Amino acid sequence: MAALDIRPLTSDIGAEIHGVDLRENLDDNTVAAIRQALLDHLVVFFRDQPITPDQHLAFAQRFGPINVAPFGPKLDSHPAITVLDQIAPMGGLAARWHSDNTYMPNPPLGSVLRAVEMPGIGGDTCFANMYKAYEQLSEPMRALVDGLEAAHDLTYTLSRAIDEGLAKEHLDMMQAEYPELVRPVVRVHPETGRQALFVNSNFTTRLVGVTEAESDVLLAFLLNHVRSPEFQCRFRWAADSIAFWDNRAVQHFAVPDYTERRLMHRVTVEEWD
């Protein structure tokens, strides 16, 4: 195994990995080193990786089973690959700080996102460290949120999706398939054992066990807190760049500041059973 060249982007989140060709069949030691870099830096980036859809899937599958997104366009030849094809002003679901699919009983481990075609200017993605978001709360606030639970569902996201053209019948079916879930506000990462805030703007609708007024104020505070710049890194894409983030401890935000085509392919990875 050639030694990976891991270059941190900030002290708390993000690193570029050089010295690896993702078109190759990676050996177990290289995969383990990438996984450790993911755990250490929460999101890792690769540049100049002209992989095919088959190679994209093969790389993602080294880290866990593939999760097929329940909505959104798919690559015709590879339905496990979600296609994000947009021209700004984009807004919508990705232009809000969020973790993916927290309305599901088992939210994914992470996603492997590849830039296929990028605008000349703009279209960056920001990532935020939810360990730090939790750790930077005051001790009394941590004691409060440690005992709280929050509801996650598709209600808000579905209403936005209707605006973006998703069929109403499909939305009704999804809402029936994915009823509201209640989960802790603070999640313990299954591999690192660290605590992370686990509320987000796309799917967390209320705090459970408190009054509506208390929920509104505290949830608004937490959702604003997680987007603090000191928790973030920002990645400037180019064609054939790849980002792989740990959805269990990261939120992300696609910056809607471009006026040309931005075409991305995403593969989402589940936890091993």
Give residue-wise pLDDT tens across range 4-19.
999 999 999 999 999 9
Residue 90 has pLDDT above 50, yes or no: no
- Residue 94 one-letter amino acid: A
Q: Which residues, in sequence order, are bridge partners of residue 152?
A: 181, 204
Confidence of residue 272 (pLDDT cuts 50, 70, 90): confident
- Residue 89: asked if its preceding bond is cis (omega within 30°), the reply is yes
Beta strands in 146-241 (DSSP E): 149-152, 181-184, 186-188, 195-197, 204-208, 232-235
Distance from C-alpha of 127 to C-alpha of 241, rounded to nearest angstrom: 15
Segment 104-132 mean pLDDT: 97
> Could you list the active site residues?
98, 100, 252, 266
Distance from C-alpha of 88 to C-alpha of 2, rounded to nearest angstrom: 40
DSSP H helices, 164-271, are: 168-177, 212-225
Residue 182 has pLDDT above 90, yes or no: yes
Look at the block and give the residue holding tokens 């994000």. Answer: 84
- Kind of pairing between the strands at 181-184 and 242-246: unpaired
- Kind of pairing between the strands at 181-184 and 250-254: unpaired
Q: Percent of the chain scored above 90 by pLDDT?
A: 82
Say which CATH class 5-269 falls into: alpha beta
- What are the angstrom distances between the C-alpha of 116 and each of 36, 47, 146? 26, 12, 41
